Every structure is written in structure tokens, then in C-alpha cells.
Copies of this chain bind each other. A is one copy, B any other.
Amino acid sequence: MDLSRRDFTRIGAVSLAASLSPTLVAQSAPGRKIGYCIIGLGRISDLFMAGVQSSPNSRVVALVSGHPEKAARYAEKYGIPASSIYNYQNMDAIRSNPAIDAVYIGLPNSMHAEYTIRSARAGKHVLCEKPMATTVAEGEQMIATCRDANVKLMIAYRCHYETTHQRVVKLLRSGALGKINLIQSAFGFSCDGNDWRVKKALAGHGPLFDVGIYCLNACRYLTGEEPSQISAYAFSDPSDPRFTEVEESVTWTMKFPSGALASCATTFGGQMEGYFRVYTNRGWLEVSPAFGYDGLHLRAEYLPEGGPFTTLDEPNPEKSPYHFTLEANHFSTCVLENRTPKSPGEEGLRDMVYLTQILRSAGIPA
């Protein structure tokens, strides 16, 4: 949680290389594929499993679900034997299933800690969806348990492994755009009132934890810095029955040690396509859309030192679920080669700290 910027950059550089180089896997473990047990069979797990199918070093080998028919359907799709289908009661038995190297946790936020901890105690590496947890304390416990169990913990920040985001980070680090002055970012959508995302017991909090976290995390990897000051406002329409348990909208501003300033917004109250725009002393760069599963589009205009004036207009042609393939590749490589993931538990915990600060600044107990 208290990594210095140098540590952060070093981790980033190592795993950037790892995730970009398809040869690494082949060199270190020819033919070996990491076997994943998928915990929770919602939309995100569906995408992850589809992504794994395209991965050279990953495969789906087991399922944990409370819905036997759904589990049977996926088992058939991915050739999983009945003996590798678990439910939430008996899932600790994954310990004795040697086909399972790692778990992927695609459950509602409030279940991340419990299932990370149970999986770690069963001796399995853990790839857990974001947000890592619903509180900082849970996050710390997850990290400690995984460390004690000697298993890896990665938080599924898929944008860390996505090609447009990686290109943007490299471009900014190259210095071509100079110094970052300001960032604006937003991500939100109109959430259904029956969604677990608006139930406090399942989600912990509202749009900030679900999609606002993309903006927060992006500001951190775009700047390569940790925010030194945070200020926020939140609002919930009192007449909207969706927002009795969690907040509807949050805006927050961050100041980074370099002086870079960032303004972000998130909502469950209406469509808000995810994007970020970076303003520098040499131009600007935006990815819009930035956080969807495909269709990412990079645009930029800048004058590098020594020129020439540069215009970028780069739609990313990759199709969903390529994010998940790249994410699975990375975690499997880390397991195969005993490396630290680019987005370890500590990275998730940092966001938990900032998410909590944002909520408190907005007057929401957290």
C-alpha cells in the first residue's frame, strides 16, 4: 500500500513487457496452461471465460455457481467434468482438484474478500474483479491471506493489459506530450433498479466502486503518480427509488504531486460513455470510448520537442473479449514464471484507500 513511485513504475515496466510479449509464455513453459476455476457465472465471468478461450496459456477447468443449470450449460460449453462443478457451500474442495491453478472471482463486490480468502486457503492463485473489496480492511486481509498462503493475488484491472491503454501510457512516459496539466474522465450508465449494483449489501457502494474506479485508476496510471489531495461531491435523487441504498452520482477532483489535476465523474443515473482526456503543455490526448470492452478510440494532437506536430486518430480494431484474453495471459504468465502481476492486491488496495477518501469527502460514510 505504501509503494513508492519508483516501485510502481518498476512493477509497471516489468509486467508491461510481460503482457506484451507472447514469447515469454512459450519460453518458460511450453504447452502448459493455467487452469482457472470461475467463481460466479454472471456477465463478467462469461466474458472472462470467452477471453480465456483465445489465450495461449489459460483454460477454464472448473466452475463455482449457485445455479446448477447455468453451471451445467457452461460446463458443456467449456468441456468441464461434473466433478469440477462446485457450489458456494462445497467450493473449499477445490483444494484437492489439481487441475485448478487459479480462481477468477466475478462475484458482486461484497463477496470478493470471502472468496479470495477461501480460495487462497485452498492453495489457489486469485484473480479477483475490481473493486478489490468494499472496505480497506477487507483488502488488507485479502493481501495478507494470499501472502501467507503463498499464492498470487491480482486485481482484474483489464485496462492495464489492453493495447490502447498501454500505448497511451508509453506515449505519455516517452515525454512526447510533455507535462500533464489536467485530466478529465467520466464513466457511468443508467443502472437498473433490480441490479445488485444498487444493493448496498452486495455492492458496498454505488457507481464510484463499479465504474468510477476506472477513471480513478486511469488517472493514476496516466500520471504514474498517487493523488496527494482529493475532494468530492455526491448526489442522489431522493425521488428515485434506485438510490435509497447507494449514491447516484459522484464527482471528484485530485491533485497529484507533480501538480497535475484531475476531474472525474461517475453516475448510475444516466448514460455516460467512459473516456479520459489528458491535457499537457504540448497538446492533448484522449481515449473515447475508453472503458468499453471494444471500440476504443485514441485521438491526440501534440507538438513534441523538436517537432513535428503530430495528430493521432487510432480506433482499436480488436473485438471483445480481447481485454480478458490479455488479462488472463498476464496472470497465467505471472503464475507460470513466478512474477508479480502488474496489478497486484496492493494496486487494488490503493484504489480502496482513494475510493474511501472520495466517499468521505463527499459526506458518505465509508
Contacts and interface: CB of A to CB of B under 8 A. Distances in A.
A182 interface: yes
B270 A253 contact: no
B281 A259 contact: no
Interface string A264-290: 110101111100000111111000000
B279 A261 contact: no
Contact of A269 (B234, B249, B281): B281
B253 A263 contact: yes
Contacts of A178: 270
Given A182-B265, A233-B231, A261-B233, A284 B255 contact: no
Contacts of A260: 235
A233 B253 contact: yes
B236 A259 contact: yes
Interface stretch (A59-67, A161-169, A184-192): A184-192
Nearest to A283: B271
A303 B163 CA distance: 34
A263 B251 contact: yes
Given A181-B270, A184-B184, A263 B265 contact: yes
A262 interface: yes
Instruction: State which size class the interface on A falls in.
Output: 35 or more
A279 B270 contact: yes
Contacts of A234: 261
A188 to B, nearest CB: 7
A234 B253 CA distance: 11
A251 to B, nearest CB: 4
A311 interface: no
A179 interface: yes
A229 interface: yes
A248 B63 CA distance: 54
Contacts of A263: 184, 251, 253, 263-265
Contact of A251 (B190, B237, B250, B253): B253
A181 B261 contact: no
Interface of A: 178-179, 181-182, 184, 186, 188, 190, 229, 231-237, 248-253, 255, 259-265, 267, 269-273, 279-284, 301
29 contacts: A181-B235, A181-B248, A181-B267, A181-B269, A181-B270, A182-B186, A184-B184, A184-B265, A188-B279, A229-B233, A231-B231, A232-B253, A233-B255, A235-B260, A235-B261, A236-B259, A249-B261, A251-B253, A251-B263, A252-B253, A253-B253, A261-B265, A263-B263, A263-B265, A267-B279, A271-B279, A271-B284, A271-B301, A272-B284
